[in-house]
């Protein structure tokens, strides 16, 4: 995002008496690598950044995770500020302090917990975001409604057209509420020993879908849209999520232009289950799910049989 916004940020920093150094990385997930980390360290060292210096992570979640990890480790940790420029980064990745990079063996395998000193969400930046990226961010927004706030969910249903038009007032209220929810959850369980797991609603199947399509077919938001819809089906079967609420969930994803159906071959299904078992969130080889009892109320650590997962996938299969 350097070409779009770096100039304005630099000006502001200079005006405030700082001496900023601009470090850029190529767009895309590949920038979240140890070689980028190394390149950043070298630039910081050359520019003689000190313990009291700070990093501004200006960009999407990739930049936030990478710059945050550099900040967490350079000189054993310096301050950093998140200035997220995608909807996903504004409502999710910039808040909560999880930072890190990918290895060949998998996503986010190296990282730290390092809280930003400040998160600045400038909604103006979202104006240039491609429609597909924007909708992908909405998948996380809808997630907050399902896991924590039935009122937010109802508001999303009501305000969806305005939200899709990126109407500033609606967007401001929704982004603020999502950040509040994330901060609230993380504030109660920073290192994910319990409650924080609810943020993974839809992510067990979603991550596995991303992994078996080699991170190519679906954006993260699209994969977790399908994951949330599958988890909704499982919730209806196991926790008694009312059919009417399950329908509202499907309709909202559909209305937001997110994928709600998928077709997997038998071989892809097998790979999907393998990928779910490899996921970081598996403990003792057992796949655990976050499931909804009602919209706004979920439970984590739920055991689900393979059969139920298959049935939930059957139910959303494209025919």
Give catalytic residues, as residue numbers: 76, 98, 140, 182, 192, 196, 200, 203, 207, 220
β-strand partners of 112: 99
Q: How far is the CB of 87 from ligand NAD (least distance, A)?
A: 8
Q: How far is the CB of 5 from ligand NAD (least distance, A)?
A: 7
Q: How far is the CB of 116 from ligand NAD (least distance, A)?
A: 10
- The H-assigned helical ranges of the chain are 7-15, 34-46, 61-73, 87-88, 131-148, 150-164, 168-188, 203-212, 220-238, 243-255, 266-278, 306-315
Nearer to ligand NAD, 92 or 279 (CB): 92
Nearer to ligand NAD, 199 or 292 (CB): 199
β-strand partners of 298: 292
Question: In 3D, which of 174, 200, 172 has the Cα closest to residue 186?
Answer: 200
Q: Report the alpha-carbon distance of residue 38 to residue 35 in Å, rounded.
A: 5
Nearer to ligand NAD, 61 or 233 (CB): 61
Q: Report the alpha-carbon distance of residue 14 to residue 195 in Å, rounded.
A: 41
Question: In 3D, which of 68, 172, 154, 144 has the Cα closest to residue 112?
Answer: 68
- Residue 89, SS3 per DSSP: helix
Q: How far is the CB of 314 from ligand NAD (least distance, A)?
A: 29
Nearer to ligand NAD, 65 or 245 (CB): 65
Q: Report the alpha-carbon distance of residue 24 to residue 6 in Å, rounded.
A: 10
Question: Which chain residues interact with ligand NAD by CB under 6 A?
Answer: 1, 27-29, 32, 59-63, 65, 85-86, 88-89, 92-93, 96, 98, 107-108, 125-126, 128-129, 133, 220
Tell me the pairing of strands 297-303 and 288-294. antiparallel
Q: How far is the CB of 20 from ligand NAD (least distance, A)?
A: 19
Nearer to ligand NAD, 30 or 38 (CB): 30
Q: Report the alpha-carbon distance of residue 250 to residue 261 in Å, rounded.
A: 10
């Amino acid at each position: 995002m350097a070409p779009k916004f770096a100039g304005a940020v630099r000006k502001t920093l200079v005006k405030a008496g700082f001496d900023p150094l601009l470090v850029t990385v190529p767009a895309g997930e590949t920038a979240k690598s140890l070689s980028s980390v190394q390149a950043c360290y070298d630039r910081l060292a050359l520019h003689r950044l000190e313990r009291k210096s700070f990093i501004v992570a200006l960009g999407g979640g990739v930049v936030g995770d990478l710059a945050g990890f550099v900040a967490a480790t350079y000189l054993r940790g310096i301050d950093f500020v998140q200035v997220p420029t995608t909807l996903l980064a504004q409502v999710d990745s910039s808040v909560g302090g999880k930072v890190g990079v990918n290895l060949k063996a998998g996503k986010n395998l190296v990282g730290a917990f390092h809280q930003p000193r400040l998160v600045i969400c400038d909604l103006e930046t979202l104006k240039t975001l491609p429609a597909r990226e924007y909708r992908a961010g909405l998948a996380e927004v809808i997630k907050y409604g399902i896991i924590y706030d039935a009122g937010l969910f109802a508001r999303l249903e009501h305000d969806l057209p305005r939200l899709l038009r990126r109407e500033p007032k609606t967007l401001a209220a929704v982004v603020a509420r999502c950040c509040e929810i994330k901060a609230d959850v993380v504030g109660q369980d920073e290192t994910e020993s319990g409650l924080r797991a609810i943020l993974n609603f839809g992510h067990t199947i979603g991550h596995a879908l991303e992994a078996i399509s080699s991170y190519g077919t679906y954006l993260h938001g699209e994969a977790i849209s399908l994951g949330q819809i599958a988890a909704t089906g499982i919730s209806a079967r196991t926790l008694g999520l009312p059919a009417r609420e399950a329908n509202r969930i499907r309709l909202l994803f559909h209305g937001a232009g997110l994928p709600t159906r998928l077709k997997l071959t038998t071989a892809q299904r097998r790979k999907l289950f393998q990928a779910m078992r490899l996921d970081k969130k598996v403990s003792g080889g057992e796949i655990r799910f976050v499931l909804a009892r009602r919209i706004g109320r979920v439970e984590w650590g739920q055991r689900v049989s393979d059969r139920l997962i298959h049935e939930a996938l059957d139910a959303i299969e494209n025919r």
